[in-house]
Amino acid sequence: MAEHYRIILGTRNWSSWSLRPWLALKATGAPHEDVVIALRQPDTAAKIKHYSGSARLPVLQISANGKSETVWDSLAICETLAERHPDARLWPESPSVRAEARSYSAEMHSGFAALRGALPMDFARTLPTPVLNEEARGDIARVLEAWGHALEHHADKDGFLFGRFSIADCMYAPVVTRFKTYGIAVPPAVKAYMDRVLALPSMVEWYEASKREVAEGRA
């Protein structure tokens, strides 16, 4: 299928929701065009609205066989890519393990508001650990519990949450950056998992782009 992807992203250093489907897109190996909209600017909302009826990022534009589609929402984009690129194996093959991976991914998608508020994504910086309220500590504990369980039962030789790299890892990758930025203490097995995620070529690429944004005063 001849197709062209354009993904509309927010400022890389800050946009956790943009990082998630971009990692999935990179995992497919499909060529794509990145369009980055600077966040927290007077014209940000107007620029996003040009691409997104929801007025939110990210957005994936697909052109194939003379037709065009638009997909918005991080998890919806990930699911669309998994359907269009089965060879990328973005979900585990086992139905039961796939259901568990989907559950963890949906939990991240809809929850952890206290963690997001206390530890906003700021990938290229190293910042002091803030004072965390009970809700934020509870969210962190739940993430560590989920990662620990997945790694113990499914990590195998590839060392990601469900063996090979999957959408579940995409969904939690911004949390990896948050824990790194704010120096959150984690168990050794989780630290090793975080190191594997941060070493991915796609994560290194995103990190380097985030550093450029900070250096140029764009983030």
Structure confidence by residue, pLDDT tens digits, 19-61: 999 999 999 999 999 999 999 999 999 999 999 888 899 999 9
Task: Identify which of 124, 112, 143 has the alpha carbon closest to the alpha carbon of residue 15.
Answer: 124
Q: Which two tokens stand for residue 178?
A: 């948050």
- 55: how many CB neighbours lie within 10 A of its CB? 11
Task: Give Rg (Cα) of the chain.
Answer: 17
SS3 of the chain: helix, strand, coil, percent, to 5: 55, 15, 30
Residue type, 105: S
Residue type, 199: A
Q: What would the pLDDT profile of 54-85 be if each residue is shown by its tens digit?
A: 889 999 999 988 889 999 999 999 999 999 99
Asked if pLDDT for residue 2 goes beyond 70, the answer is no
pLDDT confidence bin for 155, thresholds 50/70/90 = confident
pLDDT confidence bin for 116, thresholds 50/70/90 = very high
**Contact (Cβ atoms closer than 8 angstroms) between residue 86 and residue 146:** no
CA 167, 168, 174, 177 dihedral sign is negative
Residue type, 120: P
* Gap between the terminal Cα atoms of the chain: 37
- What is the number of alpha carbons within 13 Å of residue 11 lying toward its C-beta? 19
pLDDT confidence bin for 199, thresholds 50/70/90 = very high
Q: Model-level pTM?
A: 0.96
What pLDDT does residue 219 have? 96
Identify which has the larger pLDDT, 65 or 95: 95
Mean pLDDT in the chain?
96
**Contact (Cβ atoms closer than 8 angstroms) between residue 127 and residue 214:** no
pLDDT confidence bin for 121, thresholds 50/70/90 = very high
Residue type, 152: E
What is the spatial distance between Cα 33 and Cα 18, in angstroms, rounded to a whole number?
14
